[in-house]
């Protein structure tokens, strides 16, 4: 048996939507994007959504729209995809890492205050694997020190904690529709926010700071545009939005299927010696984006290779960012700087986890893990 690491949920209805978009005049940002943004804002219980080309673009744009820039420090976690801290650098700011909780892998909120300096401008928490950080505590700290909060919710479209949704207690949350995300356009992303100024700035800055997008310039009589502010080329296309619209309508049913698979894995791996799991608190509704096991760091790569050679698709989410060559060379980070992130980064293995995973595949993966660890 071979079990892919990921299989998407795109169905014939989604393909028909893309065909319809392709038959229309506007392939770039237009009516499909407007519709998707409206439906995404409603699902996210936020006032606005702004569609962009990737989660990385969403993070960069949210930081820039919130006014983070050169000279600023942004506090974040080292246990994330490099996109998180790269977006801080793209905004011209400096990433400042704070170690993670050993139980969850999320940024340790109790250590954030020690990292605040006179240059700190923002906190950028990441809801790792889909389990949300304590946004009430982060918001409390941010208010105390007058800091901006931008959430990396790339894993957390469906997540809540203590009834708080991504984007609810922050300036904005960034979502990703990358190939392995719960709804995907191959590449894609969005900002969700309640802040009218962030929405307005992000909408202008996602298209070179232009005063009018293509669908407005060509509606009726040609209209000139101005470049009002500096911006980037991050606008979502109608093709991407058409592919996402139907998936978003099914997002809760595909989430429910992943929730079942999560519990099936936990049941089948319960008591397996040498297999640990990140904690998910009782007040957390996880986005169930990744199913991760933690094994002996000295044996992780051997177990990873055994699983891989038995036909189980695996990944590592993540090795800590501060020890990536660029970060250690540029900022002088060393082994030992963030021990919890390093320990988890050396222990972690992500298993296949998606709505299309069949019962017998879950059994096969769980059996393979037990065998490989034993
Ligand atoms: C935690 C996290 N942040 C940011 C990103 C960046 O998203 P994208 O790949 O859509 O740019 C990803 C994933 O891909 C991610 O997993």
End-to-end CA distance of the chain: 20
Q: Is the backbone peptide bond immediately before 271 cis, with ω within 30 degrees of 0?
A: no
Instruction: Measure 127 CA to ligand 1 centroid, in angstroms.
Output: 11
Mean pLDDT of 124-150: 98
Longest dimension (CA), the chain: 71
Q: Which domains does the chain have, with CATH numbers?
A: 12-249 (3.40.640.10), 251-373 (3.90.1150.10)
Residue ID of nearest Cα to ligand 1 atom 7: 55
Closest ligand 1 atom, residue 87 Cα = 4
Do 244 and 8 meet the contact criterion of CB atoms below 8 Å apart? no
Q: Which residues pair with 164 in a beta bridge?
A: 161
Instruction: Measure 60 CA to ligand 1 centroid, in angstroms.
Output: 11
Instruction: Measure 116 CA to ligand 1 centroid, in angstroms.
Output: 25
pLDDT, tens digit (0-9, with 9 covering 90-100), for 170-189: 999 999 999 999 999 999 99
pLDDT at 219 over 80: no
- Within 10 Å of residue 252's Cβ, how many Cβ atoms? 11
3-state class (DSSP) for residue 126: strand
CA Rg, the chain, in Å? 21
Q: Which segment of 122-131, 169-178, 204-213 scores lowest on mean pLDDT?
A: 204-213
Q: Check the CA dihedral 17-18-22-24 and report its sign.
A: positive
pLDDT at 213 over 80: no
pLDDT, tens digit (0-9, with 9 covering 90-100), for 54-78: 999 999 999 999 999 999 999 999 9
- Determine the pLDDT at residue 221: 83
C-alpha torsion 250→251→252→257, nearest 10: 90
pLDDT, tens digit (0-9, with 9 covering 90-100), for 320-366: 999 999 999 999 999 999 999 999 999 999 999 999 999 999 999 99
pLDDT at 372 over 90: yes
Instruction: Measure 154 CA to ligand 1 centroid, in angstroms.
Output: 6
Closest ligand 1 atom, residue 178 Cα = 10
Closest ligand 1 atom, residue 56 Cα = 11
- Determine the pLDDT at residue 211: 85
pLDDT, tens digit (0-9, with 9 covering 90-100), for 84-122: 999 999 999 999 999 999 999 999 999 999 999 999 999
Residues with CB under 6 A from ligand 1: 54-56, 80-81, 83-84, 126, 152, 154-155, 176, 178, 189
Average pLDDT, the chain: 97
Alpha helices, DSSP H only, in the chain? 12-23, 31-44, 55-65, 82-90, 112-115, 135-144, 196-205, 214-217, 238-249, 251-269, 300-309, 325-331, 339-347, 359-373
- Determine the pLDDT at residue 238: 98
Instruction: Measure 27 CA to ligand 1 centroid, in angstroms.
Output: 24
């Amino acid at each position: 048996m071979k079990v892919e690491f990921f299989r998407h949920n795109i169905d014939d209805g989604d393909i028909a939507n893309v065909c319809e978009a392709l038959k229309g005049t506007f392939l770039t940002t237009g009516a499909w994007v407007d519709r998707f943004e409206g439906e995404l804002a409603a699902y996210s219980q936020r006032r606005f959504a702004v569609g962009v080309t990737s989660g990385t673009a969403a993070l960069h744009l949210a930081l820039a729209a919130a006014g983070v820039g050169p000279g600023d420090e942004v506090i974040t976690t080292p246990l994330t995809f490099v996109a998180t801290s790269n977006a801080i650098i793209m905004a011209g700011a400096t990433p400042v890492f704070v170690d993670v909780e050993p139980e969850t892998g999320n940024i340790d909120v109790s250590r954030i205050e020690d990292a605040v300096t006179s240059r700190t401008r923002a906190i950028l928490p990441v809801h790792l694997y889909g389990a949300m950080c304590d946004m009430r505590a982060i918001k409390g700290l941010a208010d105390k020190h007058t800091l901006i909060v931008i959430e990396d919710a790339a894993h957390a479209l469906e997540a809540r904690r203590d009834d708080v949704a991504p984007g609810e207690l922050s300036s904005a949350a960034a979502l990703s529709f990358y190939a392995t995300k719960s709804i995907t356009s191959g590449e894609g992303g969005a900002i969700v926010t309640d802040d009218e100024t962030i929405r307005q700035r992000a909408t202008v800055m996602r298209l070179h700071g232009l005063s009018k997008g293509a669908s407005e310039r060509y509606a009726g009589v040609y209209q000139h545009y101005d470049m009002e502010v500096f911006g980037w080329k991050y606008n979502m296309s109608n093709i991407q939005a058409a592919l996402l619209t139907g998936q978003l309508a099914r997002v809760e049913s595909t989430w429910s299927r992943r929730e079942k698979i999560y519990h099936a894995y936990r049941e089948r791996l319960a008591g397996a010696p040498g297999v640990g799991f990140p904690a998910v608190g009782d007040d957390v509704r996880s986005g169930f984006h990744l199913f991760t096991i933690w094994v002996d760091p000295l044996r992780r790569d051997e177990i990873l290779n055994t699983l891989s050679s038995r036909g189980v698709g695996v990944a590592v989410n993540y090795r800590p960012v501060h020890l990536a060559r660029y970060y250690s060379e540029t900022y002088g980070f060393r082994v030992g700087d963030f021990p919890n992130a390093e320990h988890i980064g050396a222990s972690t293995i992500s298993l296949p986890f998606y709505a299309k995973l069949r019962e017998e595949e879950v059994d096969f993966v769980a059996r393979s893990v037990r065998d490989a660890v034993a």
